[in-house]
Amino acid sequence: MSDPIVLYDIPLNANGTAWSPHTWRTRYTLNYKNLAYRTVWVPYTSIEPTSKRLAARPTSLWPDDAPRYTLPAIFDPSTNTPIADSIAIARYLDAQYPHTPRVIPEGTEGFHEAFLVALDAVTSPALRNLAMPASLVRIDDEAAKAKYKRDREWQVGGAMEEWAPEGSEKRVGLWRELEAGLAKVAKWYEAGEDKDRKFLMGDDPVMADFVVAGRLMWLKVVLGEEHEEWKAVETWHEGRWAKLLKDLEVYAEVKV
């Protein structure tokens, strides 16, 4: 039996709490496919050197066009393959392990790409402006915290503390914006005959569901599940988002 796949994830704290919306997608994917894997925690400050050592490719560009390395990445010892980017990882796993359920069903590759654009169009920047500062507060390591702040402010502009200050009108407005955006996503889930299906395409989840759930997990983890703002999200759209996470809970195990 070959060694398990390695999932490289970013820890929120010394306990290694999983919080990144992007690495959550890959965890859901690996668990859903029931592939053997283990998690290696990579501090936020070590993403680039770790990726380079793995020979995982940069996935995007920084504002100055420098190559940007991101997690999740995986390393599959059975094929000696490193891959970064949650969608590229899903494609690789679908192709490499054809006996496992596909997370990007044949023919939906283009729809999945468009789905990412649509989801950004309706949930960003509200989600980003709320969740990034909430993440900053929760990141334990001082060097990681400082780099996260610097990187995100470089991307977005302005001081993170000003994006969504607690108790501000601005923050209330962002929550309202996010709720309105997710109302549109709820309509996508309700389109078609089978309005009671669990997931976007039916009763089996696909990558698009993991993308939505990853964003929700991000909010839930960095706000804390007892936070009143998260509690409110759980009531939106007849509890749809709480139910989505519940329906995916069986694939949410953090295997270390």
Interaction between residue 167 and a second copy (CB under 8 A): no
Interaction between residue 143 and a second copy (CB under 8 A): no
Closer residue to a second copy (CB): 134 or 216:
216
For residues 242 and 109, give the distance between their C-alpha atoms in angstroms, rounded to a whole number: 27
85: CB partners within 8 A, 6+ apart: 59, 70, 72
Q: Of 28, 84, 37, whose CA–CA distance to 205 is shortest?
A: 28
What is the DSSP secondary structure assignment for residue 39, as one 8-state letter?
E
Cβ of residue 199: shortest distance to a second copy, in angstroms? 9
Cβ of residue 111: shortest distance to a second copy, in angstroms? 4
Interaction between residue 98 and a second copy (CB under 8 A): no
Strand duo 60-61 + 37-41: pairing: unpaired
Q: Of 200, 234, 201, whose CA–CA distance to 216 is shortest?
A: 234
Q: Which of 91, 128, 149, 220 binds a second copy (CB under 8 A)?
A: 91
> Vertex 162, ends 13 and 70: CA angle to 5°?
45
Q: Which of 109, 153, 179, 234 binds a second copy (CB under 8 A)?
A: 109
Task: Kindly state the number of chain residues that form the binding site for a second copy, as judged by CB under 8 A.
Answer: 31
For residues 139 and 222, give the distance between their C-alpha atoms in angstroms, rounded to a whole number: 9
174-213: contacts with a second copy (CB under 8 A): 184, 187-189, 191-193, 200-202, 208
Q: Which of 108, 136, 217, 241 binds a second copy (CB under 8 A)?
A: 108
Interaction between residue 38 and a second copy (CB under 8 A): no
What residues make contact with a second copy under the rule CB under 8 A? 91, 95, 104-115, 117-122, 184, 187-189, 191-193, 200-202, 208
